[in-house]
Structure formats: structure tokens, C-alpha cells
Structure 1
Amino acid sequence: MSVDLNAPAWHGQRWAARTALAAAALAVLLPLGYGGLDGVLLLAAGLTGGAVTAAAVWWTLTRRGPARWLAAVLAAVTPTVVVVLFVVTLGWVLVLSPVLWAVAVWSGRYALRSTGKRPRRMKEHRARSVRRPFLLMNPRSGGGKVERFGLREKAERLGARVVLLDPEEHQDVTALARAAVAEGADLLGVAGGDGTQALVAAVAAEHDLPFLVVCAGTRNHFAMDLGLDRADPAACLDALTDGVELRVDLGFAADHPFVNNASFGAYAAVVQSPAYRDDKIGTTLELLPDLLTRQRGPRLTARIDATTLDGPQAVLVSNNAYRTGDPVGLGRRERLDSGLLGILGVKVDSAAEAAALLLDPDPEGLAVLSAREVIVDADRPEIEVGVDGEALLLPTPVHCRIVPGALRVHVPRKRPGVPEAQPRLNWRQLRKLAATAGRA
């Protein structure tokens, strides 16, 4: 005789799975039943509209002149027409159906989250006290956050030596950090953008010193994935007196460190343009047609273990993998200590492939991989690379690697943390769960 030791929990999961399946079925059948033949046609129109919109976006990015503007109008008008058709045909059902979908998604994720393995969070270690912390601060970062949040004053009150970077001239932050170490600094920190963070972080890793991140940049992706409070940069300095230590990986593209990612292909070529800083949108629209249609730029090859990506327009190599199955957390990393690089490769050569990229749950044009090392090669001796937003020109092939646990990052004990990733809905697993959960 079998005994279920967790009957109440399994019972709740079973009913959550059944609720998800029932709500999803009603969300689909209600519009079809209410609209009859019109409902079936409307469903087909919705799928067609999605494909046309994706194709129009592709044409907008790969065409110039009147063709581009016509495609842009089509990309804007098509979803509008589809929405109007849904409203006219379905009326009140249009409100109820999304509510049912929301119930299905919430219930399904609850059921799967309860049964699946929770991701291992970054382990906290005791942070040893420091006596001579050294911080570099960029007064221009984030529109002047250093001054607005009183970062220099607070850091100095806590015993840190602070050096403000001169916005009028280029300074070698790596040399400044190494000089501070030679003078006895026992912690290195940066209040600035991710590119500056990476350079100083590499010096800290080289000397096995703790590293402090102050989220004073514009986007602060690294700080976000460390779970820091980006709305309050001054709170990051609490790590100097009440902090814990996280062991974090560090990525390298050739000899250049990155805390976030190294990008190859279309985006890297765009940011390399001298006009990009002054006119980001205009420069991007001017360069993308030739880059995406392979009339300009290198032909890339990425080798990841036994897998070869041949001819992608873009390759993104990240310090740990980005979330891809959680739309809410897209662009975030669950952890920074897996010891693996995340690799995203995109290859799209037609409007049809662009539509598949949007509509197909597993499109051929998108490669999602992870590995300790990646080699990116090209049909030319040098290629453009964007390393944490900084434009570089590197000789090929470019060897990307990750050093596990290279960084000892000090963070405040009290911080928002990284939101838990939502599990991807697996309807086959939900059906099994609804039928079998509760049995030992």
C-alpha cells in the first residue's frame, strides 16, 4: 500500500493544475463558441496579424526610403486593426477571456513551481571588515547621481577614500585602481556605469580583494542582478558597515573583462559608429539595413563545445545566462555564480523567419546555449565587439571565457534581492500533474 506523506500539498497542486487547464480551455473556447464561425476566423486573423506585424518590423529594419515608412505604417496599423476586430466581434468576451488566461497562467505557474526544483540562490558569506576602502565615482553617471544622492559624502563618512573621475578627460581607471591597491586599499568600489565596474572588478579579482558596486549608472544591469536597490544608490554603501559577501563569476572577451555581456554582430557594429553617441536612433536605422541583410559587416561563426552557429547576425555572450522563459524577468539573470556563460545567437534572413521568431515557441533562428568557453570567429582579421557597452575592435578569433567565483562582491545585508523567476508553462506537464498528483 502506498502512502502520500504530503497529501495536502499534492492536493493543492493537482487542483491548481486542473484550474489552469480549465481556465485555458475556457479562454479559447469562449470566444470560439460566442463568435461561432466568426470566432474561428478571428483566431486566424489574430495569428495572421501577428505574422504580418513581425514581417513588417523586419522590413522596417532592413529597408530604406518609402519602403521603410510603408512597412512601419503596416507594423503599427496591423495590430490596431486586429484589436478593433476583436472588440467589435467579441464585446464583453474580450474582457473575460484575458481574465481566464491570467487565471490559467497564475494557477499553472503555482502548480509547476510547487513541484519543480527551486533555483539555487547565490550563497552569502560573512564579509570581513575593511579598513581602507577605495571608491572611484563618475560624477556624470546616471545624470549626476553621485551628487544627487550625496554618495561621496556618505562614503567618506564611512571611512572610504573617494576619487572623482574628471569628466573632461579620459582617465585609466584600471591604473587608478592598481595604484590604490599599491597604496594599501583593501576594498575597491565603483559608482558608475557597468563598463567602469568591469574594469575595476578585474583588478579586485586579480588581487583577491572585495569589490563594491554602487548603482550610480544609467541602467545598472549588474547591480540589478546582484539584487541591489537601484532607486537608492546610497544604500549600496551600507555594505561597508553591514554587508555580506557574494562570490560572483567574471567574464572575459579576449583579455577584456565584462560583468554583463559581450556582443558581436549588428549591435556591436552600430555602437562602434562615431555618430551613435549623438544620434542613437538615427544611426541605428541608417546602419541596420546593410548589417541585417549581410551587405555590410563580418560573417560570424560561433563555436560552443560541439555546436557551431554559422552566420548569425548577432551573438550575445553573457556572464551567466539571461532569463528567456519568463517575460516579466526578460533581460535579468537569476544568478551570477553558475560558472557558465550564456550564449544567444540570432539568425534571421527573411520576413518569414522574423515571423517565426515571434510566433514559434522554439524558433530555428534563435539559439540559446550555455558553456564555459565560446570562440567567435569572422571572415576578417578584426571585428567590432561591445563589451559592457564599450565599443572595442578585437582581433579574430575572440576567445570568451568565464572565471567562476572570481569576484568577492560586498553587498548590503538588507537589499531587495533578485525576484524569483517564473516557471515556463508546460501544458503536457500540467496534464500529467492534474491526473496523477496526489498519488504516492
Structure 2
Amino acid sequence: MSRRWTARLALAAGAAALLVLVVFAGLGSLVLMGVGWAGLALTAAGVWWMLTHTGWIRVLAALLVVAAPLGVLFLYTAAGLLWVVLVSLGLWALAVSAGRAALVEDTSPSMPERSVSRAERPFLIMNPLSGGGKVEKFHLAERARALGAEVVVLDPAQRQDVAELARRAVQGGADLLGVAGGDGTQASVAAVAAEHDIPFMVISAGTRNHFAMDLGLDRQDPSRCLEALTDGVELRIDLGYLHAGEPVDVSAGRVFINNASFGVYAEVVQSPAYRDDKARTTLEMLPDLLTHHSGARLSVRAGSPTMDGPQAVLVSNNPYERGDSAGLGRRERLDSGELGVLCVGVGNAAEATELLLRGGQGRGLTAATAREVVVDADTPLIPVGVDGEALMLATPVHCRLAAGALRVRVPRHRPGAPHAAPPMDWRRVRCLALTMGRAAAGRGAA
């Protein structure tokens, strides 16, 4: 289907979603929408109260979180209009999906890649525990050795310095470094590869594989990543660096390939009890952290804007997609030359509700981009989560971006390489549907 007709489908589905409400619910459609919004608002307020209180208030808030949506469903069912709401929501989902698909070609092009010759002496480090044992499950070590790579499988019984292993390999003549493991291990080896300007290779054998996802790699079958050894192309991507305290020592910077988190999440994962009982520890610590009764008070400077007192900060190596405010999805590019910054500062239930109802947009969330970000605090040390690893760093913490610092070798054919869908923009969809139609009519008249 052409972009023009996809845009028209989006407009038609959106109109149909409203029409279904009006035709089958009449003036009651306004009541339906009001009840739905009220249910969402009560749910959001309940979540905030549950996270910021303990004892009987938390119990009542949890009951509200459950009762509010159930109450909305009961009212819809009692009025005999539940099917109307479900059909309308389905049409609206179709409208948004089609609209985003129509706008895909309006996004920036994929990261440029260049053909390269095969590495002569590739060196790969594999963690047998990553991803629940994917190295053994997919026979990654055997397959890599069959393709001419030198492979070191880490010994789970002892701690090994992967960065030192990589440096020794480079000294021994390795012309490519690769990792089958988690993002933290990948970051350590990527720093060595960038330091020596040799290619780096990612094998998606971790649990979440965020970095592999943003490179378009196959996360279901990590053995396909090995195709980069025989039929690979090279990308030039950015690297994030952290420098703790003053003065800034560039040579002592810590690399991050995904993100560095400050505030609530970083404080929670630093707790000794977190490993044994994550849910309970989080619920016990959140009330004081969210209300600033404990933890460091942060200040963030990203270029000209300064954010004071956010509860959580995420600094990412390139921005996450717009519309993915939690930073849980993917980054459209890894070569934009800018850090992404997300600051969450929610002070009350009203701001938490606004954040939910506006789809991650509101006073409680600040998004920015910058080449350098400085995170300061009212304490000399703050917890930081760097690519999933918990650290304590001296303040202020400087985050900077090294543009094009890392050469990444990836397979020529990758399942996740196509454009990610852009955020919905109804004005652009309408213009696309109408303008292209007029252009076609003009050509026919000529």
C-alpha cells in the first residue's frame, strides 16, 4: 500500500473510531469518554499514592488502582456499551498504527554503512552465563572458531577483567574484538576497541540485548551475529563517557554504550537487599526517595537548561525515540552526535496523572539533547547505574559524547535494520493524504 493510501486509512480509521461512539452511544459518548478519563486519572493517582506511602494508605491506594478500571468496565457493561468502546479503541489503534507507518519515510535515513574486508585475526570473549546460557545453547564458541576466530570463554568460577583480556589480544595482533555477553561487558570491550580504532562486534547473547537491538541485530538467534565475520559491513557510532569529580580526567572516563541512570533507580539497585528481594526492597525505598526524604538531591545541566531536583535522570548514548519517554524502547540512530537526557520530577498525584494522561508528556518530564551533561548533587558521592552496573561516583558527574568513536562490525543482512516508526503527527498525516492526492490529480489534468 502506498504512503498516500496508508495516510488515508489512518484518517478513515480515526474518523470511524469517533463515529462509532457518536452513532451507537449518542450524547452518551461524551459520558463514556469522561468516565474513561476519570478512571485513568484515579488509577494514576492511586499508583502515585501507592509508591509514595506505606501502611494503610498504600493498601487503600492499591485497592483504588484495581477498583478504578474495574469500575469503568462495570459501568460500560451495565450501559450495554462495552463493545462500542472496544471497537472504537481498536479503530483508534489502527489509525495510529497506519499513521505512523505512513510517516516512516519522513524519518532520517539509516546509519551509513560501508563494506569491509574480512578480519584476519578476530578475538571474541564469551560469557557462558549471559542470557541464561545462550553461548552453550547456540554453540557460539564452536561456530566462531570454525569461522577462524580466537575465542575465550570466561570462567564463571573466577572474576576476569575483560578489558585486560581485550588489550592483550590487541597487543597479540587481534584486528577485531567481539563480545557475547551483557551490555556492561560489551561496554568494557568497546572502550578498548575505540582506544585502538579497531572494529567491535556484538553477539546478542545477553538477557535484554538493548545495544544489539539498536544495531538491528537478531536477538532471537545470536548465532546469526557471527555472519559479521564473513559478510560484514561497518558502522561508525558514538560512545558515551562518564567522568567523576573535578577536574575532568578524560583518560579515566568510563564508557557507556546505552545509558547512565541517576536518582531513584540507581539508589534502589545500590541497596544490599535488592539482589535478594527486588520487589520488596523497591517498595520499601520508593516512598522516601520519591518525596526527597532520602537520597541525594540532583541538579542536571544539559547545555543551557538546568533541571533542579529531579527524582530520576537518564542520560543515553543518543536519544531514545520520541514517544518512548521511559527510555525502554530503541534509539533510532547511534550516530547523531548528541546525548539524550530524560529527567523525571513528579511532585504530587496531579503531576503523575498528567504524565499518564498525556502519554508521557507533561510538567513531570523534561527531555533534552546535548553534547555534554553535568549531574551534580548535594552529596560528594552518588549512585549511578551504567549499562546496568551499579557504581558510586564522585560529584559532579560529567557525561560527554565522542562522536563516531566506535567502529562496529555487523552482518550485512540484519532483521532489525529498517526504520523505526516515528511518533504520530495527525497534521503531517492529513497533509500527506491530501497533498499527494492533489499532486496526482494535477499530473492527471496535465
Asked if 1:222 is matched to 2:221, the reply is: no
Contact (CA 8 Å) 2:322, 2:423: kept in 1 or not? no
Number of aligned residue pairs: 428
Kindly indicate whether the alpha-carbon contact (under 8 Å) linking 1:21 and 1:431 is maintained by their aligned counterparts in 2. yes
SS at match of 2:329: coil
Aligned to 1:137: 126
Q: Contact conserved, 1:27 with 1:100, CA < 8 A, in 2?
A: yes
Amino acid at match of 2:146: R
2:316 maps to what in 1? Answer: 318
Provide closer, same or farther for how the CA distance between residues 206 and 357 of structure 1 changes in structure 2, counting only shifts above 3 A: same
More deviation, 214-223/16-25: 16-25
Change over 3 Å in CA distance of 1:227–1:22 after alignment to 2: closer
Cα distance per residue 1:409-440 (max 9 Å; x no partner) = 11112221234222322233445555555446
Distance 1:160 1:111, change over 3 A: closer
Give the Å deviation of 1:173. Answer: 1.5
- Percent identity between matched residues is 61
Give me the TM-score of the superposition, normalised by structure 1: 0.91
C-alpha deviations, 1:233-275, integer Å up to 9, x for none?
1111121111111111111111110110000000011111122
Question: Given the superposition, is the C-alpha separation of residues 328 and 420 from structure 1 closer, same or farther in structure 2, using an over 3 Å criterion?
Answer: farther
Q: Distance in 2 between matches of 1:100 and 1:322?
A: 27
**Contact 1:326 1:421 (C-alpha < 8 Å) held by counterparts:** no
| Map of 2:100 onto structure 1 | 109
Q: Secondary structure at the match of 1:48?
A: helix
Q: Structure 1 residues 412 and 111, CA, compared in 2 at 3 Å: closer, same or farther? A: closer
What secondary structure does 1:134 align onto? strand
Q: In the superposition, relative to structure 1, how do residues 207 and 18 fare at CA in structure 2: closer, same or farther (>3 Å)?
A: closer
- Could you tell me how far apart the structure 2 residues matched to 1:113 and 1:173 are? 39
CA distance in 2, matches of 1:208, 1:119: 27
Deviation at 1:135, TM superposition (A): 1.3
SS in 1 for 2:296: coil
1:82-138 deviation per Cα after TM superposition (whole angstroms, max 9, x unaligned): 123223321442343234323422443354446xx3322011112232222111111
Tell me if the contact between 1:334 and 1:418 (Cα under 8 Å) persists in the aligned partners: no
Q: Deviations over 1:216-245 (max 9, x none)?
A: 111111011111111111111121111111
Q: Distance in 1 between matches of 2:47 and 2:373?
A: 30
Residue 42 (str. 1) matches residue 42 (str. 2): no
* Matched position secondary structure for 1:251: strand
CA distance in 2, matches of 1:369, 1:216: 32
- In the alignment, the residues of structure 2 paired with residue 49 and residue 205 of structure 1 have an alpha-carbon distance, to the nearest angstrom, of 51
Instruction: Please say if 1:166 is aligned against 2:159.
Output: no
What is the DSSP-based 3-state SS (H/G/I as helix, E as strand, rest coil) of the residue aligned with 1:163?
strand
Letter in 1 for 2:344: V
Query: Which residue number in structure 2 is paired with residue 245 of structure 1?
Result: 234
Whole-Å separation in 1 of the counterparts to 2:226 and 2:429 = 45
Matches within 5 A, 1:9-408: 13=4, 17=7, 19-89=9-79, 90-113=81-104, 117-254=106-243, 255-325=253-323, 331-361=329-359, 362-408=361-407
RMSD between superposed Cα atoms in Å: 2.3
Q: Which amino acid aligns with 2:213?
A: M
Evaluate the alpha carbon distance shift between residue 354 and residue 95 of structure 1 in structure 2; reply closer, same or farther with a 3 A threshold: closer
Q: What is the CA deviation profile of residues 309-331 of structure 1, one whole-angstrom value per residue up to 9, with x for unaligned ones?
A: 11110110011111132699951
Answer with 418-427 or 54-63: which moved more: 418-427
- Corresponding letter in the other structure for 2:174: A
1:224–1:418: 8 Å Cα contact kept in structure 2?
no
Q: Distance in 1 between matches of 2:62 and 2:152?
A: 48
Is there any run of 5+ residues in structure 1 with no aligned partner, and where? 1-7
SS of 1:228 mapped into structure 2: coil
Does the C-alpha gap of structure 1 residues 424 and 88 become closer, same or farther in structure 2, counting only changes over 3 Å? farther
Is the CA contact (8 Å cut-off) linking 1:177 and 1:188 kept in structure 2?
Answer: yes
Letter in 2 for 1:264: F
